[in-house]
Structure 1
Amino acid sequence: MHHEISVLFIAETLIPVIQEARQNRCDIYLVKDDGLYMMAEEGEILPDTGRRRVAYAVGFNPAIVAFDEWYHSLHDICGGDDFAETLQADSRIFDLVVKHHINLKIEFTPEAFSIIPVTP
């Protein structure tokens, strides 16, 4: 059985996170806990969610996808442990997202992950 080893982040939802991180001169976190998302290390707490602005990977937003539909897939893609990886907000790959609305695919291996630009 073949499982996807990658996830997709859409530029439209990722751009506000990148802009917030750059405005606050902080890093971006790639987080796996309740879903898989990116968020600025520092930022405003949004009144409607009670947490910072986040950009979920497609299919891994627990507010719109049932737990049983994302949990096991995410476990297969990037393991069972929660994590937060630090990404530099001033990275050139994030420039592509902001300037050209390029989506980002993140490919996972057992040891690492890679960020790959994907034209919409």
Structure 2
Amino acid sequence: MIHFLATDLRAVIAEARTQQCRIVLVKDQGVYMLSEKGELENGRRKLIAWAVECNPNTVPFDDWWERARAEFGGDDFVEHFDCGDAVFDRVIDDGLDIQIRADARYLYIDAVAPRS
């Protein structure tokens, strides 16, 4: 299971809702969420919410790479979520974090109380 902080996700969700587009979960050089459309900075999306355990800016390569592979397999992927989904309302309205886990067929996304 990987964890996204509400403090990081709020801006991504707000951008997706303003742009009326989807939220994208990406596994490639780390695991992160971003708005499908939005402001660019240096050719990259400006607002990115990194998974706590898979952020190449804060976690050593071998650690985040192994965690991402263990959680989601070896292939890179992109998955799209409706920005109006109730799970994102819980992040905005209640300050809940997001946890994502996967099995061979599905991704599961849940709003959870922030870690203490």
TM-score, with normalisation over the residues of structure 1? 0.90
RMSD of equivalent CA atoms: 1.0
- The match for 2:98 among 101, 104, 110 is 104
For structure 1, the residue ranges without an aligned partner over 5 or more in a row are 1-5
After TM superposition, list the pairs within 5 Å mapping 1:38-117 onto structure 2: 38-47=33-42, 50-52=43-45, 53-117=47-111
Q: Secondary structure at the match of 2:40?
A: coil
Distance in structure 2 (CA, Å) of the matches to 1:85 and 1:73: 18
Residues 26-77 of structure 1 show CA distances to partners (whole Å, capped at 9, x for unaligned) of 0010100000010000000135xx4111101112111121111110121011
- The match for 2:13 among 14, 18, 22 is 18
Distance in structure 2 (CA, Å) of the matches to 1:86 and 1:97: 17
Q: Percent identity?
A: 40
Asked if structure 1 preserves the Cα contact closer than 8 Å seen for 2:53 and 2:67, the reply is no
Distance in structure 2 (CA, Å) of the matches to 1:63 and 1:51: 15
For structure 2, the residue ranges without an aligned partner over 5 or more in a row are none
Distance in structure 1 (CA, Å) of the matches to 2:16 and 2:41: 15
Distance in structure 2 (CA, Å) of the matches to 1:96 and 1:72: 30
Distance in structure 1 (CA, Å) of the matches to 2:102 and 2:5: 17
- Return structure 1 stretches of 4+ with deviation > 6 angstroms: none
Instruction: Please state if 1:118 is matched with 2:112.
Output: yes
Partner of 2:2: 7
TM-score, with normalisation over the residues of structure 2? 0.93
